[in-house]
Amino acid sequence: MAKILQIETATAVCSVALSIDGKTVSVKEESGQNLHASNLTLFIEELMIASKLELKDLDAIAISKGPGSYTGLRIGVSTVKGLCFALDKPLIAVETLKMMASGFILENPDYDGLICPMIDARRMEVYTTVFDTHLNVLEETSAKIIDEDSFAELLSANKITFLGDGAPKCEDVLNHTNAAFSTSNFNSAGNMSLLAEKAFKEANFEDVAYFEPFYLKDFVLTQPKKKV
């Protein structure tokens, strides 16, 4: 049975989970701004103590690879790479939007529509994609500015459930009878378990030395305005 430590830092949620044989057995998480740097290693330590395991007992470590917050992803990936190096454990990367869709499907096994996870970017922009209930990709991951014409073709023929922290700001714009919105949090490392287990069984591991997060967009550093 594979024991996998799973970490999600792509959004405002700082989340750590342990899965055994593809099932989530423990989760430690909190939502808020700027939590990752101070809480991530603490959450990992608390999770392992509560699970009565040591890090050396793990079979692999999985990271939610993005897209999402540049700073959150950087902190999560650097932490996981450090652990993998130190422990000589394989690194598994799971796309964040796919993790969210997988969590929705687990919570709604009878759902027969499409799933559109959204991660908040700026203004009316979100990082998003569209999946069917078998996690087949119907729209490639992109940074999309949402307006009344977004997803029009898919919505004309399918029910789509929008979810994630980018969905609420789009609810008034995506005013369609086939559009539904979920308020549940799917940015949890606990939703990574099936995908991480599948990757482990297939030996789908990342090169620890060269792995980088899926930022999707380049980080732009803005200079503060000079006071006159």
Q: Quick one: 118 and 12 in the same domain?
A: no
Domain membership flag for residue 89: yes
113 found inside a domain: yes
pLDDT in tens, 25-62: 999 999 988 889 999 999 999 999 999 999 999 999 99
- Within-domain flag for 44: yes
Residues 108 and 85 in one domain: no
- Give the chain's domain count: 2
Domain match, 105 and 33 both: no
| Pair 101, 147 in one domain | yes
Domain holding 115: CATH number?
3.30.420.40
Round to whole Å and give the CA distance between 109 and 125. Answer: 29
Rounded CA gap, 190 and 17, in Å? 5
Pairing label, strands 91-94, 60-64: parallel
Task: State the average pLDDT for the chain.
Answer: 94
Q: Are residues 65 and 88 in the same domain?
A: yes
Q: Are 187 and 13 in contact (CB under 8 A)?
A: yes
**157-192: per-residue pLDDT in tens?**
999 999 999 999 999 999 999 999 999 999 999 999
- Claim to verify: residue 90 and residue 191 sit in the same structural domain: yes
The domain in which residue 15 lies consists of 3-95+187-201
pTM of the model as a whole: 0.92
Calpha distance 183→1 (Å, rounded): 33
